[in-house]
């Protein structure tokens, strides 16, 4: 790994957590990327400590001591956990054809960068592939004979993609209003997973101005294009942002997971097909995890459906 150069632009999404941001930055610093895009959300008006925390977090970028082009997008106002990251990612892909994306609590190991860069190149023109994930939720999967596999799902705790794929992203999920799209989505991800996610998608569709996520929209965008994710045979990312100040992961069993280095050269697959066995185990694992966001949203959606039935009766009948 010592002679490896990160030529792929790296995007870093930050907010008000200098402690976790420092650890992610330290991992990036070891790899010395030639380009670094930093997206920072602004302080919340109802949180008096945010101004100082945001300033300390942004100041970490001043530690860059290697040859690197740095581009920043610092917001003066708070855009939230949905609009903030997604608008920043869109900005990055407006400048670059492909990029590696890290958030302020997702610490990668060193092999993550080379794994992303090599697969970005290999699958650059393969429109079937839309995401390169650094997270293996099961820890390891068939690592004795492969470096990665293909999945319907993937994950966004450390990932990479191309502009061609992100162009399908729509924060408002307007296509969810089309029954034909919903039927096809059910075919792609299966009835069980569809039933688990439909309340979240409905909430996003009808109340997108007030949602604090962007990853569900990104997953939806990939699914309705039958887009595949590349998942490493060994987990390359640990999420360290599971403290009391976490928005979505304060109690997640998936945080602080062990990471494993991949061996190079990568063992590339001779075919592009979903590993259904992995996806079934992945789905079972995340289904067993108590998710506060999902429980709250299901309650909200009862009210949303009543409003939707009044405003758009034909659409509401199909949910």
Provide the pLDDT confidence category of residue 128 given band limits of 50, 70 and 90: very high
Instruction: Inform me whether the pLDDT recorded for 61 exceeds 50.
Output: yes
- Produce one character per residue of 117-144: b if its CB has 16 or more CB atoms within 10 Å, e if not: bbbbeebeeeeebbbbbbbbbeeebebe
Count of CB atoms within 10 A of residue 224's CB?
Answer: 20
**Range name among 29-33, 143-147, 185-189, 302-306 with the lowest pLDDT average:** 302-306
Percent with pLDDT over 90 in the chain: 79
Mean pLDDT of 185-204: 93
Greater pLDDT, 255 or 61:
61
Percent with pLDDT over 70 in the chain: 86
Q: What is the per-residue pLDDT for 306? A: 52
Provide the pLDDT confidence category of residue 309 given band limits of 50, 70 and 90: low
Mean pLDDT of 148-165: 97
Q: What is the per-residue pLDDT for 319? A: 59
Task: For residue 121, give the nearest of 150, 91, 97 by alpha carbon.
Answer: 97
The reported pTM is 0.89
How far is it, in rounded angstroms, from Cα 100 to Cα 117? 8
Q: What is the per-residue pLDDT for 292? A: 44
Q: What is the per-residue pLDDT for 108? A: 98
Task: For residue 11, give the nearest of 88, 97, 115 by alpha carbon.
Answer: 88
How far is it, in rounded angstroms, from Cα 79 to Cα 39? 12
Q: What is the per-residue pLDDT for 317? A: 57
Q: How far is CA 6 from the centre of its chain?
A: 20
79 vs 15, 169, 179, 198, 201, CA distance in Å? 10, 18, 31, 25, 20
Greater pLDDT, 310 or 38:
38
How far is it, in rounded angstroms, from Cα 236 to Cα 260? 6
Q: Are 218 and 197 in contact (CB under 8 A)?
A: no
Report pLDDT digits (tens) over 68-104: 999 999 999 999 999 999 999 999 999 999 999 999 9
Instruction: Inform me whether the pLDDT recorded for 60 exceeds 90.
Output: yes
Provide the pLDDT confidence category of residue 210 given band limits of 50, 70 and 90: confident
Q: What is the per-residue pLDDT for 248? A: 46
Report pLDDT digits (tens) over 241-293: 875 554 544 445 567 889 999 999 999 989 999 999 999 999 888 876 535 44
Two structure tokens written together for 100: 């590696």
Instruction: Inform me whether the pLDDT recorded for 150 exceeds 60.
Output: yes
How far is it, in rounded angstroms, from Cα 101 to Cα 114? 13
Q: What is the per-residue pLDDT for 278? A: 97
Q: What is the per-residue pLDDT for 7? A: 98
Q: What is the per-residue pLDDT for 316? A: 53
Where exactly are the structural domains of the chain? Answer: 10-171+214-288
The architecture of the domain spanning 10-171+214-288 is Alpha-Beta Complex (3.90)
């Amino acid at each position: 790994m010592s002679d490896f150069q990160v030529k792929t632009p790296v995007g870093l999404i930050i907010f008000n957590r200098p402690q976790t941001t420092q650890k992610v930055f330290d991992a990036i610093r070891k790899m010395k990327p030639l380009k670094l895009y930093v997206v920072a959300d602004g302080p919340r008006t109802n949180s008096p400590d945010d101004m100082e925390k945001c300033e300390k977090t942004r100041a970490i970028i001043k530690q860059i001591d290697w040859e690197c082009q740095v581009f920043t997008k610092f917001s003066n106002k708070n855009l939230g956990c949905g609009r903030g990251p997604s608008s920043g990612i869109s900005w990055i892909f407006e400048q670059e054809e492909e990029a590696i994306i890290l958030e302020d609590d997702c610490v990668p190991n060193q092999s993550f960068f080379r794994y992303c860069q090599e697969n970005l190149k290999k699958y650059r023109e393969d429109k079937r592939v839309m995401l390169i994930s650094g997270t293996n939720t099961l820890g390891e999967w068939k690592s004795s004979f492969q470096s990665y596999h293909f999945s319907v799902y993937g994950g966004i705790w450390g990932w990479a993609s191309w502009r061609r794929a992100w162009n399908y992203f729509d924060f408002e999920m307007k296509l969810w209003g089309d029954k034909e799209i919903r039927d096809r989505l059910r075919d792609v991800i299966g009835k069980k997973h569809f039933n688990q996610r439909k309340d979240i998608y409905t909430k996003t569709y009808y109340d997108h101005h007030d949602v604090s996520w962007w990853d569900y929209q990104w997953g939806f965008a990939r699914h309705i294009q039958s887009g595949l994710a590349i998942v490493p045979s060994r987990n390359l990312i640990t999420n360290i942002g599971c403290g009391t100040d976490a928005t979505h992961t304060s109690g997640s069993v998936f945080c602080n997971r062990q990471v494993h280095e991949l061996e190079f050269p990568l063992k590339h697959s001779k075919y592009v097909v979903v590993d259904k066995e992995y996806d079934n185990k992945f789905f079972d694992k995340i289904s067993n995890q108590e998710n506060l966001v999902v429980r709250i949203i299901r309650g909200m959606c009862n009210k949303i459906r009543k409003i939707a039935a009044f405003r758009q009766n034909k659409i509401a009948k199909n949910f």
